Amino acid sequence: MNPNERLRVVVATPISEELCVSIERLEPRIELVRDHSLLPPMRFVADHAGDPAFARTPEQQARFEALIDTADVLYGIPELSPVALKRAVDANPRLRWVQTMAAGGGSQVKAAALTAEQLDRVVFTTSAGVHGGPLAEFALFGLFAGAKTLPRLNKHQGEREWGTRWEMAQIAEQTILVLGLGGIGREVARKLTALDATVIGTSRSSTPVDGVAELVHSDDLLSVVGRVDGIVVTLPGTDATDKLLGAEILAAVKPGVTIVNVGRGTVIDEDALVAALRDGRVGFAALDVFAVEPLPESSPLWDLPNVVISPHTASRSTAEERRIAELFAANATSFLDGTPLRNVVDTVQFY
């Protein structure tokens, strides 16, 4: 683009006016275009979808799409919809960059079924890294709940039974397998190491990672799952990770292992997990993500006493929206200066 032109960014997702002003202050070369009346109100912190009861009139929808079609950059995917994203890319040849709100925004890009030319023309970035702290804390919560026998405690309390005393596991004496050493996985490893746990991590490279005592390839999980006390899933949902934690792996785990998923629900074969939870191979599971969301009422996971179900909310924090805005502003500076952007979606694997 002409170096004398300002970068026209159209806001396509709910965001406070305060954060809009903050983005403009952080990168003054941005023309941040927004019309809050065309965006659904947020119901809670980081509600990027907005109130589902919100509906535009035909005239408002036409104005919203016309605005989208003037953008060099989109802040958010319109309606969080792959269909709306495809329409925007088709209609606007000047569009060069889309910032997704999700850390796993690659799945939305994949679902839009863009052409090779469009994927080459438009760069997509995610909010990866923003959610590392909250999700790492949820991972620790799940591991502690398993180690401290939360299901047994709940059962005794529900039955008003004191019972006999029993031994609880110590995280400091455990070995934890972290599936995926991206931003979230590295933060999980860092926190576990501070608790004196031993961490094994999966990686596609042999590059050492702070806090990780041993690196294995995801193809070699069978060689390690029999000696770990907990498994934390932080992986994105891709063809390569689909049902990675399946029946064969779960048959080989150390009996009573704790499983926590803060990555994507598709990484775990839920039918195989249910079977393993029922027969005790998996002692406890803390799940923030599922293959289908919302989790269907018919899912047997709801009824298992050794499962904690979190409705994909573990990443939420009061700082999330601000961190995404700051990440976007920093990337906008890189975009304008012609330097590499952070969190670019791999348009082959879509993560």
Q: Which residues are catalytic?
A: 264, 293, 312
Query: Considering Cα of 8, then 14, then 16, then 19, what sign does the dihedral take?
Result: negative
- Tally of CA atoms within 13 A in the half-sphere of 15 that contains its CB: 31
Give which of 104, 167, 178, 183 is closest to 140, Cα–Cα. Answer: 178
- Between CA 270 and CA 314 the distance in angstroms is 19
- Which CA distances in Å does 277 have to 249, 256, 257, 259, 306? 13, 9, 10, 10, 7
Token pair of 325, please?
Answer: 């805005």
**H or E stretch covering 322:** helix 320-337
Place of tokens 């016309």: 66
Maximum Cα–Cα distance for the chain, whole Å? 75
Two structure tokens written together for 228? 């770990």
User: Who contacts 84 (Cβ-Cβ below 8 Å, separation ≥6)?
Assistant: 77, 78
Q: What is the dihedral of CA 49, 51, 52, 53, to 10 degrees?
A: -160
Distance CA 130, CA 102 (A): 9
Task: Confirm if 296 and 273 have CB atoms less than 8 A apart.
Answer: no
112 C-beta neighbours (distance < 10 Å), count = 21
- Walk across the sheet containing 230-233 and list its strands: 214-216, 198-202, 175-179, 230-233, 257-261, 282-287, 307-309
Structure tokens at 39: 């965006």
DSSP code, position 112: T
